[in-house]
Chain A
């Protein structure tokens, strides 16, 4: 199939060469304007959202300043609002979920990218993508009826018996708490780690693997010591994406975390996350300071996910470019 270049006599595609009237008549200007308005509305809505969050949290920002992030008392009666327990809970559950999800996710991604034949890999990836589509409230449902009783009856007592000397596993086995929330979150974020890591691993150029193998390394050695480090940035990016998802999770967390603003070294302790406290208390926050403190928490969450998502995207882009760039050598 030969590619032909056509010389277009008139009505060239270069904008501005035809008269404004002729463009108007043909509807191009209108089309441009209309579609521009729609595109601009995306920007406007986003700006409006940030503005509302900022404006809506003015009171506590002025009253508490940075102390908002250092105080751990959340007392609506005495108008004392400190964000520390929620930030703590959000971070702890996210970290626990990553500790569980990252090894499992990267392992699965390695399998899908390096070992599985293409059809198997695609089929399994299809199922993993479906897992990512399961709504949060369904995970919450399973969490409440399956994970929590299991934790309370088996897992937490077993951990207590074996590792109870660690401050991490002290305290009564409620079933709900940081650990349970972390486990449910881990299940929710694994698909993100797997699908993104699989893609970056697939984009690592063949010659990297082949060079390692030709030097006598085993399959595993070439994967672990050459391919994975090459894709390191993208894999980190997938972890950040997963982290951002875990931070913003609302429903599944509020159903299994215990809903208590507590800061505790023990993973068995009930806790609270930013998203969960907003979900529980927003409709009843009487008094402007109370409501705006919740909005400020929303702003904090927004900023956290914003930064993480940005960093993640940079990392993933950098790795993919690196892969495609070197592939031409």
Chain B
């Protein structure tokens, strides 16, 4: 009995060791915003490169920034770019810097679940700020009803749903609200984790979507694909030019059009509340966080190879999943920047 157990253990250990050779495992973590995109990408890339496994865990942008800084994962992902302080922390800790690489663009939509309301609601910036500040508490408030004549809104309490974890989606949402509402800017501010005045917390885009789907009279903010694939309605938002725009790939690309030609070298840019009649005001790039230096040459080459693929063939998968492709100018600039990774 003991001998059987012993040899079983030995076989298992050997098996684990032998299995370990030959497969390169790269670990990444971060944003839930692009998770549907990335999980598809890493799956497809693995099919093309059977010896390479890129394991991505969607724990939120905050988690991505933190773990890549700690060095427990090989790369991170975020939709809220690292601020100067976080960049400095990384630099101090590792002795080299970290690079942002935009991968796709997406939209954060206000998604809701109101009993009896199937229509697409129109939200003004003031309405959204008011709801999330806790000042607009009922669905039939004039701030909402005013722009939705013809829709019968119930006199029910609004259940606000936000993120419980550190989130780039939150960053984009609060970045937008800070731009359109001074009260939001001073009271709450923008960031991946804020002190929410009201609401329930959901974990990840997944958690918020699930909570909205299951809670009547609720409103939350999620990436476009989450609302679409779960078939929950999302509203139009009034952009800087005064038009109510529904989130779509064209609208997101319109929002990015202005910045494409003036993209900063570190690729950190905000495209919320962008000018232009067709722009969707709550759009954002999402970035991969790649350290500048890799001690493991195999990992470095694998990541660089993946980045090239993602900027080329990978872009073709984006639209089917409701993410917008990167503008050509950005792709060109990024391809040159890949060489910075050593």
Which A residues have a C-beta under 8 Å from some C-beta of B?
Answer: 73-78, 148-149, 152, 172, 174-176, 254, 258-260, 270, 272, 280-281, 283-287
Instruction: Give the interface centre of A78, A283, A284 by most chain B CB atoms within 10 Å.
Output: A284
Contacts of A258 in B (CB 8 A): 200-201
Instruction: Choose among B165, B194, B215 the residue that contacts A152 (Cβ–Cβ < 8 A).
Output: B215
Instruction: Choose among A77, A148, A270, A283 the residue that contacts B59 (Cβ–Cβ < 8 A).
Output: A283
Tell whether, in the assembled complex, residue A284 and residue B214 are in contact, meaning their CB atoms are under 8 Å apart: no
Of residues 284 through 325 on chain B, the ones whose CB sits less than 8 Å from some CB of chain A are none
CA distance in complex: A148, B199 (Å): 17
Which B residues have a C-beta under 8 Å from some C-beta of A?
Answer: 29, 59-67, 69, 86, 89, 157, 159, 164-166, 189, 191-196, 199-203, 214-217
Tell whether, in the assembled complex, residue B63 and residue A284 are in contact, meaning their CB atoms are under 8 Å apart: yes
Tell whether, in the assembled complex, residue B214 and residue A149 are in contact, meaning their CB atoms are under 8 Å apart: yes
**Closest residue of B by beta carbon distance from A276:** B164
8 new A-B contacts, CB < 8 A, other than A270-B201, A286-B62, are A148-B214, A174-B200, A260-B196, A281-B164, A281-B165, A283-B63, A284-B60, A285-B62
Contacts of A152 in B (CB 8 A): 215-216
Contacts of A74 in B (CB 8 A): 195
Supply 18 A–B pairs (Cβ within 8 Å), ascending by A.
Answer: A74-B195, A76-B166, A77-B193, A78-B189, A152-B216, A259-B200, A259-B203, A260-B200, A280-B201, A281-B193, A283-B59, A284-B64, A284-B192, A284-B193, A285-B66, A285-B166, A286-B69, A286-B166
Tell whether, in the assembled complex, residue A286 and residue B59 are in contact, meaning their CB atoms are under 8 Å apart: no
CA distance in complex: A25, B63 (Å): 57
**Closest residue of B by beta carbon distance from A254:** B203
Instruction: Choose among B62, B159, B192 the residue that contacts A174 (Cβ–Cβ < 8 A).
Output: B159
Contacts of A172 in B (CB 8 A): 157, 159, 217
Instruction: Choose among A76, A148, A260 the residue that contacts B201 (Cβ–Cβ < 8 A).
Output: A260
Least Cβ distance of B75 to chain A in Å?
Answer: 15
Instruction: Give the interface centre of A76, A148, A176, A259 by most chain B CB atoms within 10 Å.
Output: A259
Tell whether, in the assembled complex, residue B165 and residue A280 are in contact, meaning their CB atoms are under 8 Å apart: yes
Given A283-B63, A284-B59, A284-B62, the answer on whether A174 and B215 have CB atoms closer than 8 Å is yes
3 nearest A-B pairs in the assembled complex, by CB-CB distance: A259-B201, A284-B62, A284-B63
CA distance in complex: A285, B63 (Å): 7
Tell whether, in the assembled complex, residue B166 and residue A281 are in contact, meaning their CB atoms are under 8 Å apart: yes
**Closest residue of A by beta carbon distance from B85:** A287
Contacts of A270 in B (CB 8 A): 200-201
Tell whether, in the assembled complex, residue B166 and residue A284 are in contact, meaning their CB atoms are under 8 Å apart: yes
Least Cβ distance of A176 to chain B in Å?
Answer: 7
Contacts of B157 in A (CB 8 A): 172
Tell whether, in the assembled complex, residue A175 and residue B214 are in contact, meaning their CB atoms are under 8 Å apart: yes
Least Cβ distance of B220 to chain A in Å?
Answer: 13
Contacts of B63 in A (CB 8 A): 283-284
